[in-house]
Amino acid sequence: MDGRGCGAGCLSTVGAFFLAVAVSALAEGGAGSLAGAMFLLACAGFPLWMAFSLVGSMRRDALARQELSRERAERVCLQVAARNGGRVTPTMVALNSAEVTVAEAKEILDRLARGGFCTMDSDDHGSVFYQFDLGQRPAEAGQVEPDRWVETMTRRMADSGASGLLDAEQ
């Protein structure tokens, strides 16, 4: 939890205190209690509003970090495919990245296959792999520049609205 979480907790505590005092003043009644209670309610509103704003900001940041992580994971899949002639398995992706597990790689590759960016196939032993079209003839596939191909695929996915495929299907 960053400083915003502590700040939100402190602000909500101050706001709750003022709110309790305002309710108590209203319950007691008496001359001027309504004006005092209104002042205390106003004092309670600002810290509570700030606390909710901080919590909302923390949630938005967490979602942005999660999206960035998903984009990095997609990029790792594309980089591994580019280095291996377009052929990739979830295990290959996980071995090439400390950030992506085999299960996450499989989920990403399955979604890319459903999106039409690669095909899923199996070899003679029944091992599943994913094949990306590198835009080259098979004899030249090893000559493709991985970084250039990854950039091209990333742009193609963004242009088709498929970047962040994980978000679209969750």
Q: Which domain holds residue 103?
A: 67-169
Structure tokens at 168: 């679209």
Please state the φ and ψ torsions of residue 124, each to the nearest 5 degrees. -60, -20
For the chain, the domain total comes to 2
* Euclidean distance between CA atoms 28 and 14, whole angstroms: 21
For residue 9, pLDDT beyond 90: no
Q: Mind listing the pLDDT tens digit for each residue in 95-150?
A: 888 778 898 889 989 988 998 888 998 888 888 899 988 775 544 545 556 677 77
Residue 109 has which token pair? 């590759």
- The predicted-structure confidence for 56-108, as pLDDT tens digits, reads as follows 777 777 776 666 567 788 888 888 888 888 899 999 988 888 778 898 889 98
CA-based radius of gyration for the chain: 27
Q: How far apart are CA 21 and CA 25, in angstroms?
A: 6
Q: What's the token pair of residue 28?
A: 């007691």
| Least reliable range by pLDDT among 15-19, 29-33, 83-87, 154-158 | 29-33
Residues 105 and 94 sit within 8 Å (Cβ to Cβ): yes
> Can you tell me whether residue 87 is helix, strand or coil?
strand
> What pLDDT sits at residue 130?
94
The CATH number of whichever domain residue 152 belongs to comes to: 1.10.10.10
Q: Is residue 169 over pLDDT 50?
A: no
Whether residue 114 sits in one domain with residue 39: no
159 and 102 share a domain? yes
Higher pLDDT, 33 or 74: 74
Residues 86/142, Cβ–Cβ less than 8 Å:
no
Q: Which pLDDT belongs to residue 29? A: 67
Q: Does residue 35 sit in the same domain as residue 84? A: no
pLDDT of residue 143: 57
Q: Is there a single domain that holds both residue 119 and residue 89?
A: yes
pTM for this entry: 0.51
